[in-house]
Structure 1
């Protein structure tokens, strides 16, 4: 194949990449949307580290697990203040139901806060045995999933 025959293909790929990048909406990190996205990402990262330890993907590290459980309990209380009363602008993963059914949304937020507080409490009991925190951790995962199923637009 000649070099000129590849030119249209390369040009197409470059143009497609440019169009894809211009379609991305940057999120203001100081906006309510930006703040809650940051917090949810931190929660996900922390949860993945804890789950990795419990599932054997990462070596179980007692001090790291205790610190992670405590951090997750603190983080779980923070994103809700960044959901304004009226839906904000920007590309959000939140369904309209967040604003249309705030009572239920707040109920599920409280369930997550309770589950993470329980995980932190159980994690603080020495000696920390992974099997003792598996059930409380699963309750945290279930609380996340319940809210995502009702209020997250995938």
Structure 2
């Protein structure tokens, strides 16, 4: 009778060990880990703005403007952690096109940064309502989506 609980314990321990090996998190000190961390910070800024415009969250102009400001401060940062053309990339979720089309990728980055700058400019002097910033946030979201569609698996 004691063997059954022991067997269950061994099975649970083995499953736990197997799950630890499935961790897809990058080393936080690696370029991939730094990119992931910065993109997560960007999402923490853009998600509340999207929530405010879709009525998932109450609209608050000052909070929206602060999220836009924080996103603008992050907009230049992750790109330095992508390998340069010719460098061997570490494992990641990028499509091969990101390495074979550096000009297109650079254009996508510039489009994103420009749309974030437009969003931030729209918040200068305060945000009175969703109509003041909806087109600009939509452009930021579209820039993210276009880059993911073209360059991410």
TM-score of the alignment, normalized to the shorter chain, above 0.5? yes
Query: What does residue 131 of structure 2 align with?
Result: 131
What is the number of residues matched between the two proteins? Answer: 151
Query: What does residue 112 of structure 1 align with?
Result: 112
**1:23-43 CA-partner distances (Å, limit 9, x unpaired):** 325522222111111111111
Answer whether contact 2:123 2:133 (CA < 8 A) is retained.
yes
69-78 or 133-142: bigger deviation: 69-78
Answer whether contact 1:111 1:143 (CA < 8 A) is retained.
yes
Provide the C-alpha distance between the structure 1 equivalents of 2:54 and 2:6, rounded to a whole number of angstroms.
49
**1:75-104 CA-partner distances (Å, limit 9, x unpaired):** 121111111212422x42222221111110
Unaligned runs of 5+ in 2: none
Answer whether contact 2:25 2:33 (CA < 8 A) is retained.
no
**1:121-148 CA-partner distances (Å, limit 9, x unpaired):** 1112445211111111011100000000
Q: TM-score, normalised by structure 1?
A: 0.85
Q: Which runs of 4+ in 1 moved over 4 A?
A: 2-11
Unaligned runs of 5+ in 1: none
- Tell me by how many angstroms 1:48 deviates: 0.6
Answer whether contact 1:39 1:78 (CA < 8 A) is retained.
yes
Provide the C-alpha distance between the structure 2 equivalents of 1:132 and 1:70, rounded to a whole number of angstroms.
15
What secondary structure is seen at the aligned counterpart in 1 of 2:133? helix
**1:49-91 CA-partner distances (Å, limit 9, x unpaired):** 11111111112222211111111122121111111212422x4
Q: Cα–Cα, structure 1 residues 8 and 73, in superposed 2: closer, same or farther, change >3 Å?
A: same
Answer whether contact 2:65 2:120 (CA < 8 A) is retained.
yes
Q: Cα–Cα, structure 1 residues 3 and 139, in superposed 2: closer, same or farther, change >3 Å?
A: farther
Provide the C-alpha distance between the structure 2 equivalents of 1:115 and 1:31, rounded to a whole number of angstroms.
28
